[in-house]
């Protein structure tokens, strides 16, 4: 039986950072090694890299021309594909759905977060929790976004989520859970470093004390502001402690202003996007704890990456977090609960043995989230169609 030809459609792919690109770069070479033919349709300009498979890029242009351009490209390349595999519920998701129906091609949709909620929350138009948002009328535009997301999921032949929380969410919005398969993301293995001088690296950034690392998009629901506000009390008990903030986003300038207002310029360091894997490894190696104060997550790649690096973790009880971190390998707190987060930070900074024990438990648990399992489950799902 000939292997299938797969057209992957995704709004994000390197050089743009994000989960979809990370998954595709890991998954596609393994599929090709098994005899599958793969192409990727995405946005943006080429980064000049040879990924070993065709990457067709659509330029960012204004609507409605962008939608029409995306639709034409999906239609064109889907003619010679046996399967369409969409990794978002934006333009590529809706175009993939329409083309799959027109050409009678099976469609897999990977659903790892509610784009309708994320867009409106980041714009400051809502403050509902994800599940509450589904039950409340917020106007025509939010209703349109929710309709688009739901119609794509309902029209897909199979849905992939990366955690059980999102599988339940799919059922909550009225889509059958029977066609949902949970496939966890692999724990990204960062390269090992030889002769790394942590003292010299810390001196480069003027870091003298303990290190707290937070790595995420700088958007409202990631709760970085609360971590910054806690730093004065942390520093009083543990002088020299540094908060490293890795990532960028629309809140960056507001967060930097908060740092200046609190006179924390020497204690809070903004690293920007840390895309280089060796550089990221260094920041994990000098960090004592990793904190993720998030209002909502599916399966957080950063969280599982920190686990694989053997870090003691503080994270919230939101979304899928509790499927990966519990009291056995980390500290669970309420989102933006300053009292609980502060206690978690203080307890971990005060007890190096506790940090080591939780970090080692995290490292062991992360081994169950492997690339081999991701590939095996994807192949099984693709063959089922």
**pLDDT (average), residues 146-150:** 92
Residue holding tokens 């029209």?
155
Lookup: tokens for 302: 């950063």
**What values do phi and psi take at 336, rounded to 5?**
60, 20
Task: Return the closest-CA partner of residue 244 out of 306, 301, 308, 194.
Answer: 306
Question: Cα separations (Å) of 22 from 55, 70, 193, 301?
Answer: 14, 22, 21, 9
- Which SS3 state, helix, strand or coil, does residue 45 take? coil
Beta carbons within 10 angstroms of residue 383's beta carbon: 10
**pLDDT (average), residues 219-244:** 95
Terminal CA-CA length for the chain? 13
Cβ contact 99:265 at 8 Å? no
Rounded CA gap, 220 and 123, in Å? 9
Q: What is the pLDDT of residue 355?
A: 96
Q: What is the pLDDT of residue 90?
A: 86
Beta carbons within 10 angstroms of residue 76's beta carbon: 13
Half-sphere exposure of 331 (CA within 13 A, CB side): 25
Exposure string of 123-138, with b = 16+ CB inside 10 Å and e = fewer, is: eeebeebbbebbeeee
Q: Where are the alpha helices (DSSP H) in the chain?
A: 19-33, 65-78, 91-103, 115-122, 130-134, 140-155, 164-172, 198-204, 224-237, 252-261, 277-286, 301-308, 338-350, 352-366, 371-384
Q: Could you report the per-residue pLDDT of 157-188, keeping only the tens digit for each?
A: 999 999 999 999 999 999 999 999 999 988 87
pLDDT interval class at 17 (50, 70, 90): low
Q: Mean pLDDT, the chain, as a whole number?
A: 92
Q: What is the pLDDT of residue 371?
A: 86
**pLDDT (average), residues 328-345:** 96
Q: What is the pLDDT of residue 232?
A: 97
Q: What is the pTM of this model?
A: 0.88
Rounded CA gap, 311 and 284, in Å? 8
- Domains contained in the chain, CATH given: 5-185+370-384 (3.40.50.2000), 198-366 (3.40.50.2000)
Q: What is the pLDDT of residue 2?
A: 60
Lowest mean pLDDT, pick from 72-86, 124-138, 172-186, 309-323: 124-138
Lowest mean pLDDT, pick from 110-124, 195-209, 345-359: 110-124
Rounded CA gap, 41 and 76, in Å? 11
pLDDT interval class at 83 (50, 70, 90): very high
pLDDT interval class at 46 (50, 70, 90): confident
**pLDDT (average), residues 79-92:** 93
Measured torsion, CA atoms of residues 347, 348, 351, 356, in degrees rounded to the nearest 10: 150
**pLDDT (average), residues 1-14:** 85
- Which SS3 state, helix, strand or coil, does residue 86 take? strand
């Amino acid at each position: 039986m000939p292997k299938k030809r797969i057209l992957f459609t995704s709004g994000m792919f390197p050089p743009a950072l994000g989960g979809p690109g990370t998954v595709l770069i890991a998954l596609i070479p393994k599929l090709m090694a098994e005899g599958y033919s793969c192409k990727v349709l995405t946005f943006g300009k080429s980064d000049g890299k040879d990924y070993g498979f065709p990457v067709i890029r659509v330029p960012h242009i204004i609507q409605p021309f962008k939608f029409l351009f995306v639709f034409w490209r999906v239609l064109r390349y889907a003619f010679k594909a046996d399967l369409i595999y969409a990794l978002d519920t934006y333009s590529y998701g809706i175009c993939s759905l329409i083309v799959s129906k027109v050409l009678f091609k099976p469609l897999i949709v990977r659903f790892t977060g509610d784009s309708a909620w994320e867009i409106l929350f980041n714009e400051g138009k809502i403050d509902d929790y994800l599940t509450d948002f589904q039950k409340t009328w917020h106007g025509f535009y939010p209703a349109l976004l929710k309709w688009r997301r739901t119609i794509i999921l309902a029209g897909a032949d199979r849905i992939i989520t990366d955690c059980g929380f999102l599988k339940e969410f799919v059922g909550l919005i009225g889509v059958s859970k029977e066609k949902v398969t949970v496939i966890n993301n692999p724990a990204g293995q960062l390269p090992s470093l030889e002769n790394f001088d942590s003292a010299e690296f810390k001196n480069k950034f003027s870091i003298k004390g303990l290190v707290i690392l937070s790595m995420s998009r700088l958007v409202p629901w990631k709760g970085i502001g609360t971590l910054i506000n806690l730093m004065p009390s942390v520093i009083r008990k543990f002088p020299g402690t540094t908060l490293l903030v890795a990532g960028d986003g629309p809140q960056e300038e507001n967060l930097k202003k908060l740092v200046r207002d609190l006179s924390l310029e020497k204690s809070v360091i903004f690293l920007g996007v840390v895309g280089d894997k060796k550089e990221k490894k260094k920041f994990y190696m000098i960090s004592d704890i990793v904190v993720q104060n998030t209002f909502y997550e599916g399966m957080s790649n950063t969280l599982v990456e920190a686990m694989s690096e053997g870090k003691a973790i503080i994270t919230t009880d939101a979304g899928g977090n509790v499927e990966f971190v519990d009291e056995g390998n980390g500290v669970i707190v309420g989102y933006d609960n300053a009292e609980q987060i502060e206690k978690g930070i203080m307890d971990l900074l005060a007890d190096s043995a506790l940090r080591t024990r939780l970090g080692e438990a995290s490292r062991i648990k992360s081994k169950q989230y492997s690339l081999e399992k991701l590939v095996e489950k994807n192949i099984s799902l693709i063959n089922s169609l």
